[in-house]
């Protein structure tokens, strides 16, 4: 059977675009891609990039006092949200144009339309056209969700934050994951009075307990009203804003309420099950280690599979797909020991096992230290950082590394190389410290804090 394309990619995010342009540009495949919204996907348009720009913007709020301690007389004016928002969207437009140009230069045909799967080799576009392909790659990502409670529509989700007509004076953030906690720091830094509700005992569930406790303490120190063991009982729109009654019985009116309570794969109406594929309990596309669905010609990568929902992982999955299908080198996706950063304030970098997870597997040693970094200490700021290594007692291999500090994401990238290589504690010890830096503590911790 003759097909219109060798590959049809549904979704113009980072993973789909990388797979499309490499298959076309490096392997000579005839490739098409359809995107119903903006090219660049969640990360570029509604996630990592605009969020990080907002993190940068919010970080200037404390510069006046710190600069004063270092001898500078600086007066900081008010934050101009409208001006920043215009610059931010101009940058997103620039990046989207780059994505479109990369696809065009690689010879990928693009359709600005919604695409759904009709069968193993047929794609239906919202324009009414049907296209056929030898292989179909689904990379449509996910979206933020609202909880199933009355009047949830009066609250916004993370996608809405980047288009606010004006900054609210007060904001309630519901959730305790990294998105909720990141935006709590961002909005607080931009001058918004932030309250955060989380129903659990501590934010950032699943991360190292010691690290997330320090982050929570520092968030409170910076002025965030963090209320743990608390959720929304009722909410409704009122003239003064959003009226909320908490599960603890407190009634408050906020200018805005942000739900950061989870995300869902974009599989509604996509046609995967009708074509013979399977969806999991959360709506994710079920795939094997090669990102292949139950239909041999259909693959899926990125957040729509709900494996490890990070942009660089989606890109890696896309590259593994290309190697498997177009380079005759079956390449399983490696989801082991992935470093990541949480852009809370303070920032966190992590790779490998938490202390709690490692202790359930084998006897471990924990090397940890907390201290005031030189820059903050000199300025009499209360900021504290943490460096932590989790080490196997039997093999001496570093099983996990956790950093809470300014620019922790930059540090964990390099530490992640060592941990991925299987470095031992003694390998860290043999490395000469870079002084004076925060990161030197990673190679100068000689005595275990505890053994379990």
Q: Which residues carry out catalysis? A: 435
Q: Which two tokens stand for residue 101?
A: 């140009």
* Alpha-carbon dihedral angle through residues 50, 178, 254, 381, given to the nearest 10 degrees: -90
For residues 108 and 31, is the Cβ–Cβ distance under 8 A? yes
Q: Could you tell me the CA-to-CA distances from 81 to 1, 73, 254, 436 in Å, in that order? A: 56, 24, 19, 37
Cα–Cα distance, 48 to 95 (Å, whole number): 13
Secondary structure (3-state) at 367: strand
Task: Find the helix packing angle between 81-105 and 48-58, rounded to 10°.
Answer: 150
Q: Do the Cβ atoms of 241 and 223 come closer than 8 Å? A: no
Q: Which two tokens stand for residue 34?
A: 């359809």
Residue pair 177/199 in contact by the 8 Å Cβ criterion: no
Pair 249, 227: CB distance under 8 Å: no
Q: Which residues contact 100 (CB under 8 A, 6 or more apart)?
A: 39, 110
Q: Please report, for residues 75, 177, 377, 380, 385, the alpha-carbon distance to residue 70 in angstroms, rounded to integers and kept in the order given.
A: 14, 35, 11, 11, 20
- Residues 6+ away with beta carbon under 8 Å from 22: 106, 318, 319, 322
Q: Among all chains, which residue has been given the structure tokens 């230069």? A: 105
């Amino acid at each position: 059977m003759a097909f219109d394309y060798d590959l049809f990619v549904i979704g113009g995010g980072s993973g789909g675009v990388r797979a499309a342009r490499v298959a076309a540009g490096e392997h000579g495949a005839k490739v098409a891609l359809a995107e119903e919204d903006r090219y660049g996907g969640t990360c570029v348009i509604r996630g990592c990039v605009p969020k990080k720009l907002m993190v940068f913007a919010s970080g200037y709020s404390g510069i006046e006092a710190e600069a004063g301690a270092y001898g500078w007389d600086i007066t900081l004016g008010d934050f101009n949200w409208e001006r920043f928002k215009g610059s931010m969207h101009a940058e997103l437009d620039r990046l989207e144009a780059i994505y479109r140009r990369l696809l065009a230069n690689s010879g990928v045909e693009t359709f600005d339309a919604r695409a759904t799967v009709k069968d193993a080799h047929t794609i239906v576009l919202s324009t009414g056209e049907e296209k056929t392909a030898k292989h179909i790659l689904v990379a449509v990502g996910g979206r933020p969700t609202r909880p199933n409670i009355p009047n949830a529509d009066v609250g916004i989700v993370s996608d809405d934050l980047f288009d606010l007509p004006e900054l609210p004076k007060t904001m309630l953030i519901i959730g305790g994951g990294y998105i909720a906690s990141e935006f709590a720091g961002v909005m607080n830094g931009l001058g918004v009075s932030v309250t955060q509700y989380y129903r659990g005992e501590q934010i950032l569930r699943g991360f190292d307990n010691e690290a997330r406790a320090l982050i929570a303490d520092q968030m409170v120190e910076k002025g965030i009203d963090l209320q743990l063991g608390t959720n929304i009982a009722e909410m409704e729109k009122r003239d003064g804003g959003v009226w909320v009654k908490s599960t603890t019985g407190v009634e408050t009116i906020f200018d805005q309420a942000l739900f950061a309570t989870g995300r869902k794969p974009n599989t509604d109406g996509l046609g995967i099950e009708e074509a013979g594929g399977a969806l999991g309990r959360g709506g994710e596309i079920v795939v094997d280690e090669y990102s292949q669905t139950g239909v041999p010609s259909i693959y899926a990568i990125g957040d729509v599979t709900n494996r490890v929902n990070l942009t660089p992982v989606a890109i890696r999955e896309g590259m593994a797909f290309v190697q498997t299908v177009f380079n005759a080198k079956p390449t399983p996706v490696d989801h082991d020991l992935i470093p990541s950063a949480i852009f809370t304030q303070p920032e966190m970098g992590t790779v490998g096992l938490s202390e709690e997870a490692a202790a359930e597997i084998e006897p471990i040693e924990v090397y940890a230290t907390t201290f005031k970094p030189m820059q903050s200490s000199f300025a009499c700021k209360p900021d504290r950082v943490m460096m932590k290594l989790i080490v196997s007692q039997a093999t001496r291999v570093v099983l996990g590394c956790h950093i809470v500090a300014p620019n922790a994401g930059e540090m964990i990238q390099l530490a992640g190389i060592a941990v991925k290589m299987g470095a031992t504690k003694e390998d860290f010890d043999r490395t000469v410290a870079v002084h004076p830096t925060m990161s030197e503590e990673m190679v100068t911790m000689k005595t275990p804090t505890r053994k379990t």
